[in-house]
Amino acid sequence: MSNKEETTVDTSSPTTASEMVTDQANTDSSPSPVKERKQSAYSFRFMESEKESESDKDLIIHSLNESLHIHKEILERIQSEKESYQQQIEQEREQEKQKMEDWRQTAEYALEEQNNHCFELEQGIEKLRKELEAKKEDYRKLEIKFYSYVKQIRVTDDDLSTIQPEISHLLSQLNNTCMGLKSKMNREKGTQFVFERWQDRIDLIKKYMMPAEGSELLDTSYITFFVEKYLIETLLHHLMDVPIHLGVSINNDFEAVNDWMASRNKEWSNRLRQQVCALVIQQPGDEEARITEAKNQLLQEIVETLGPVYPSLKQDPKKIENLIQRTSKLNLAVKGQEIKIERLSIEEGVTKFDSESMKATVKGKPDGIVFLAITPPFVARDEIDNEHGFTVPGKVFCIEDEQQKEEDDNTVEDNNTVKDNKDQEESQDEDQEMNQVSEQRIEAKDIDKETIE
């Protein structure tokens, strides 16, 4: 290799040239292995190798130069790639940092918007809360005024919660009155009273309430049932079925107006009824005398009707008078309600016992057909709220359902017939099986006999 090439190598890579000079110095200062071997017996061979080593040195130097050049290129490429990679990393970091900064700013902006929106909502909620409180206060005042107004047009302060027990108390007082008069009853007149008022049911009454042969009089308990039925029907008809109140002069006229208005506006008809009833009671005027006279006439009518049955009733009609007063008070409470309180209809001899609306007497059957409806069931129904209402069960005397009994008897007979037929078929099947077994035995004997022969 020429000196010019060596100079180029030294210039391009100073560090490598110094290393080469150092290596050359070390080579010159160290004893030559060739010289050391000259003293050997084979020195002529080492002389030839010394000539060859000069060319090898040039080759080695050339190889080293190329290696250094390649190494330099590799280092430069690595350095360039390193710098490029670092630059790329820095760019990515900057981009990531920028993205994070953008995200942070966006998040802060969104958070600020959410906080502002939350603050606006809180202000709106607070405003609505104040409006709600104001409306509640207005509603409370309106409610007070409304109830004050309604209270003024109602005859009594009763509602469904007080009317239901009042009906139960009336029915209980009616039963106690009849039971208290039971010991003072003229049984013969009592039987006559029953047969005269229920002539169309005499045969059935004798069938179910006079079972003993030769007896022509009803038991006092049965007569009490009919008296109780008569009293409640009379009180309801004269006191609670009237349009306004017993003895009021405008009952018939008001009924026509109320029917006309109810067909057009039920709420107005209810309010009109409440107002008229309140007016009649709070400011009766000349109606008070008519009401008192009508009550006395009703009392006299009941006493005259039941006088033969209870001879002492004419001298002491106070219990009947108390019933009239209590029913009259109940009528005013019922007339003041928006919800209509009705009485369920019971068709005697047809209607079946219903435990939800009826309670059976001890004398009769616990269920079956209603033979005698002593007191009617009272029912209050709210068309808007089904749970707002009540039912006061009626008192009934029940008999056995003969039609159901006949059906049950027929069912029992059919079951017995089916059972007999089944037993007969089973017996026939057993006979057939026995016959088959006998035939098989006979055939087996014949086969054995033939085999023996």
List the chain domain ranges.
Answer: 31-146, 162-338
Count of C-beta atoms within a 10 Å radius of residue 328: 20
Q: Which residues pair with 369 in a beta bridge?
A: 352, 399
Better pLDDT: 107 or 425:
107
DSSP per-residue codes, 413-447: HHHHHHHHHHHHHHHHHHHHHHHHHHHHHHHHHHH
- Asked if 61 and 1 count as a contact pair (C-beta separation under 8 A), the reply is yes
Q: Dihedral of CA 332/334/339/340: which sign?
A: negative
- pLDDT given for residue 279 in this prediction: 86
List, for residues 105-137, the tens digit of each pLDDT value. 999 999 999 999 999 999 999 999 999 999 999
pLDDT for 445:
54
Q: What pLDDT, on a 0 to 100 scale, did the predictor assign at position 130?
A: 93
pLDDT at 147 (0 to 100): 73
Burial degree of 77 (CB within 10 A; 0-12, 13-18, 19+):
exposed
pLDDT value at residue 282: 83
pLDDT tens digits along 76-105: 989 988 899 889 999 999 999 999 999 999
Greater model confidence, 295 or 39:
295
Q: Are strands 358-360 and 394-399 parallel, antiparallel or unpaired?
A: parallel
Q: pLDDT tens, 337-364? A: 888 899 999 999 999 999 999 999 998 8
Residue 443 confidence class, pLDDT cut points 50, 70, 90:
low
Coil/strand/helix, residue 372 = strand
Q: Is the pLDDT of residue 16 over 50?
A: no
Supply 444's token pair.
């087996």
> What's the whole-number average pLDDT of the chain?
82
The angle subtended at Cα 86 by Cα 81 and Cα 88, nearest 5°, is: 90
The pLDDT of residue 289: 92
Please report the pLDDT score of residue 228 as a whole number: 97
Residue 37: per-residue pLDDT = 44
Contacts of 72 (CB under 8 A, 6+ apart): 12, 13
What's the pLDDT band for 8 if we cut at 50, 70, 90? Answer: very low
Say if residue 4's pLDDT is above 50: no
Check residues 440 and 157 and name the one with the higher pLDDT: 157
Residue 310 has pLDDT above 70, yes or no: yes
pLDDT at 17: 41
Among the residue ranges 152-166, 224-238, 295-309, the one predicted with the least confidence is: 152-166
For the CA atoms of the chain, what is the radius of gyration? 61
Instruction: Quote the pLDDT of residue 327.
Output: 96
Given a cut of 70, whether residue 284 has pLDDT beyond it is yes
Query: What does the pLDDT read at residue 2?
Result: 39
User: With bands split at pLDDT 50, 70 and 90, how would you rate the model's confidence at 291?
Assistant: very high
Pure H helices in 1-42: 3-12, 14-29, 33-38
Q: Confidence class of residue 22 from pLDDT cuts 50, 70 and 90?
A: very low
- State the pTM of this model: 0.60
Is 90 exceeded by the pLDDT of residue 266?
A: no
Q: Are 377 and 344 in contact (CB under 8 A)?
A: yes
Q: Where are the alpha helices (DSSP H) in 283-361?
A: 287-306, 318-335
Residue range 382-403: mean pLDDT, rounded: 85
Average pLDDT over residues 216-223: 92
The token duo for 23 is 């290596």
Confidence of residue 13 (pLDDT cuts 50, 70, 90): very low
Is 383:390 a contact under the CB 8 Å cutoff?
A: no
Q: Which of 271, 277, 272, 273 is CA-nearest to residue 291?
A: 277
Residue 295 pLDDT > 60: yes
Contact 345, 384 (CB under 8 A): no
Is there a contact between 209 and 353 (Cβ–Cβ < 8 Å)? no
